[in-house]
Structure 1
């Protein structure tokens, strides 16, 4: 009875022994298998290195020289027209020694335009080793949007000349300046073209009277388009953005030309408000007030009477601009006014421009005029002791002091137009921030104000 339990115990022990033995055997087999698979590092001492030497055939130096000598060599030269330049002098500087080409340029109507190029015009020429002309090229600049390229080309023993329209390269230039004496002196110091200076006056003319409001130390920033042809400056274009600080007050403007709007383009503040007021502060760009709106002794009649307008002293021939949009009600001679123009505007308002030397071409009664259009030129016709413009501002035919009238601005941008405008304004804000660090704070404040307006 005691043997059976003993037998069972031995049986369980032997089973465990067999399992352990099988596991050990399996691990041994895996170890040998891994050893068999592991790569064996070759003995590099048994490798042999064999050097191969091969002779390479190089091209003959003499043959290369002969090939180069057999080829036609062409040369390109560039120079600029000089004052009083002749064709012979220009051809000499360009390395052209070609009588046939010279005779063709002198005789051909199109090619002869080369002789009328303005000083500074760039001329390029290609010649062969003998100096014979292959082609001659120059750009004729006449102030138009599309300058012409004059090209003279050799075709064997003959020549041809053509005038080709060339596309212009558009660039954006940014400049800043400080007023020390006058606006034009400041723009000259900043190397800004006069056409851009005139646009500054037009852009800020409804907010700043450039004849009396400028202060020493006023400053401005401006970004404008320039057009180039073959690396040569052609002309300046439109001002894209401007900033003017006058007597501590900052005026900013961005040009916004919305193709989706029938109203066309215009200048707006960085917040989308229109820069255009209903009336200009002055019909003349640069002048001084010689007589204000007040009682005075008449310079000719000698009696004490009311001066119902403002006199702007200016040189004869100075352009006179319409103060606002309107329709010409009278153009002609009228007693002491001499040559006078009267324009009717909305709101029962009219403006008077007297003592003109002459009227603008094609100007007649019933003509529609826009703000800043030139309507005539300063003179001293009628009762005038010197050249000046007599300017009146009338409401219901009653004179009002034009210097004291508070006029509203045009409607601000709203809705989708305002959203499209902000894309343009933000780009110009970044440009001004790069132009002058002092403007960064002001532009950031403007951007924050715009953002608040957008969220509200």
Structure 2
């Protein structure tokens, strides 16, 4: 709203008409002079809109130039933000303007002197044309951003279509190199050449189940073609890596890389819950390591009779690894411990090689674990009947049971408890198939109810400790497959689980000194060894 002047203070100012005509609007001073001042009635002030007034030509020209300059500036901003458009270094000089051309942003004309009358109407607002985005269709005279450039590689070239790729194949049971390459759909001639090149390097080694083959493959060049094997990497053994490559002439050549091996100490511990075998497996002890450990304890421990639930075991293993971290083998036992009778007894063994003798295990006092007789002639088997008087399961009356029985499946191997000479081999009364071995010094062992004899077991044959002499059966007076085992001293049967009928050797002199030093080193290494890794 425009504030009107007060006539009481300046009566010479004429009233403003609510609907002035064009002539009065153009010459307000003339209209005021024509009216007599003394006869004019008091003015009535009312709010009105400013009178319409023609816009001068110079204002229209200035507004048009300003709009064009704004559009030019917006266009340059859009071009500068386009990731595909080239960037300009701050040091680059701005482009020079051609002589006689309009500047990118025209300067607005300087305003004229303001009129003396406060109510003078203002120029109308000029509507600017809409902003045109870079992705919109260009209009005439409107600056546009450069077209988006296609994706390019680091060198500025368009990327080539991928025609090579890498594939990995896991070897499953029954796979061969030929079958794997056939499954990859290579041409038969290419498979033949690749296998022929690998054969001298593989040297008959089979692909290990679970191993991964890495292949570089050339994609088919047409719709009816087959892929081409460009390279292949295979690890038939932990220590060896073989690489097959194809040259430009299509010939294959194979090279081999051999890795160095380093030793690493790991340990495993466990508590007996259920069977000792299952508990050792739960502790992640490799089967071959477990067998070596139990074999060392077998001269003094009956694993079914002596080991109870809650007994503990531990083992220190030396394993070999390649320099890139591959396990070469399951390892070997350096130290082992087991408790029996619910923790009443503890056995510790250490691997040691005397100056003249075979490497094996010794107790901490330097005594060998090896006795002239094994405590039990089989592995982990259940004691089904003890030594002494009992009611005969077939005859029905009480009689002396002159040995111990171990229940085991048909065909379980039976080991000679010690070195000696076979004194008897053949059917013998209620014992069925029977073998008796004379160990000298008045000591003999007997084995009954065998299914059959091992090859070479006959009277007079020499056997060594741990040699297989027969297999578990149920011949003779037997209610099921088991081994009847007896120990005789000077012709009389004694309890093989409690008798002290055998002697063991011990270390002495320099061997004993070396052994004690080894025990100290092993104990220190054991405390710092990490737990065995999961396979």
Fold match (TM-score > 0.5) = yes
Mean CA deviation greater in 204-213 or 132-141: 132-141
Secondary structure of residue in 2 paired with 1:177? strand
**CA separation in 2, counterparts of 1:162 and 1:359?**
50
Distance 1:414 1:135, change over 3 A: farther
Give runs of aligned pairs for residues 80-229 of structure 1, distance below 5 A: 80-82=170-172, 100-105=189-194, 110=199, 117-125=207-215, 132-140=228-236, 152=244, 154=246, 156-159=249-252, 170-227=263-320
8 A contact 2:351–2:362 mirrored in 1: yes
Secondary structure of residue in 1 paired with 2:285? coil
Distance 1:240 1:86, change over 3 A: closer
Distance 1:256 1:115, change over 3 A: closer
Q: Structure 2-normalised TM-score? A: 0.58
Distance 1:350 1:273, change over 3 A: same
Runs of at least 5 residues in structure 2 that lack an aligned partner in the other structure:
1-151, 221-226
Per the TM alignment, residue 105 of structure 1 is displaced from its structure 2 partner at its CA by 4.7
Runs of at least 5 residues in structure 1 that lack an aligned partner in the other structure:
1-61, 438-456
Give runs of aligned pairs for residues 31-430 of structure 1, distance below 5 A: 79-82=169-172, 100-105=189-194, 110=199, 117-125=207-215, 132-140=228-236, 152=244, 154=246, 156-159=249-252, 170-227=263-320, 231-233=325-327, 235-246=329-340, 247-248=342-343, 249-258=345-354, 260-261=355-356, 263-430=357-524
For the aligned residue pairs, the C-alpha RMSD in angstroms reads: 4.2
Residues 85-116 of structure 1 show CA distances to partners (whole Å, capped at 9, x for unaligned) of 6869956999x977653343567894999996
Residues 183-231 of structure 1 show CA distances to partners (whole Å, capped at 9, x for unaligned) of 1222122111222222222111122210121122211110223355675
8 A contact 2:194–2:252 mirrored in 1: no
Distance 1:204 1:114, change over 3 A: closer
**CA separation in 2, counterparts of 1:166 and 1:337?**
56
Q: Which has the larger radius of gyration?
A: 2
8 A contact 2:443–2:501 mirrored in 1: no
8 A contact 1:288–1:314 mirrored in 2: yes
8 A contact 2:166–2:216 mirrored in 1: yes
Mean CA deviation greater in 108-117 or 247-256: 108-117
**CA separation in 1, counterparts of 2:293 and 2:437?**
25
Residues 348-383 of structure 1 show CA distances to partners (whole Å, capped at 9, x for unaligned) of 100001111233344444443333333322111222
Distance 1:160 1:326, change over 3 A: farther
Distance 1:294 1:416, change over 3 A: same
8 A contact 1:221–1:243 mirrored in 2: yes
Per the TM alignment, residue 121 of structure 1 is displaced from its structure 2 partner at its CA by 1.9
Report the number of matched residues. 365
Secondary structure of residue in 2 paired with 1:425? helix
Distance 1:302 1:346, change over 3 A: same
**CA separation in 2, counterparts of 1:254 and 1:424?**
8
8 A contact 1:110–1:161 mirrored in 2: no
Q: Which residue is equivalent to 1:443? A: none
**CA separation in 1, counterparts of 2:361 and 2:244?**
45
Secondary structure of residue in 1 paired with 2:288? helix
